[in-house]
Amino acid sequence: MEETFQLRDEYIPLCDLLKYCSITESGGEAKHLIAEGNVLVDGDVELRKTRKIRAGQVVSGMDFEIRVVAAP
């Protein structure tokens, strides 16, 4: 699944992004997915659950890719 997320603020925490984009059903599930090393930010494994994701970054995993862009 490929998705584009329009960021309205300066950043969004990684676990919130995963929940908002319906990659996970809850924040707890998102934190678990991150802790297992199943989430990449710009191609690197990310283990920080509240990593600040900003416009221009790409968050991906086994079956998803989220491109974060600034809202117009």
CA distances from 48 to 1, 16, 18, 54, 71 (A): 23, 12, 13, 14, 25
Give the predicted TM-score (pTM) of the model. 0.93
pLDDT (tens digit per residue) in 17-56: 999 999 999 999 999 999 999 999 999 999 999 999 999 9
**Which has the closest alpha carbon to 33: 44, 65, 43, 25?**
25
State which amino acid sits at residue 21. Answer: C
pLDDT (tens digit per residue) in 6-26: 999 999 999 999 999 999 999
CATH of the domain at 27: 3.10.290.10
Number of domains in the chain: 1
Domain residues for the domain of 22 are: 2-70
Is residue 29 within 8 Å of residue 67, measured between CB atoms? no
DSSP string for residues in 35-60 = HTT--EETTEE---TTPEE-TT-EEE
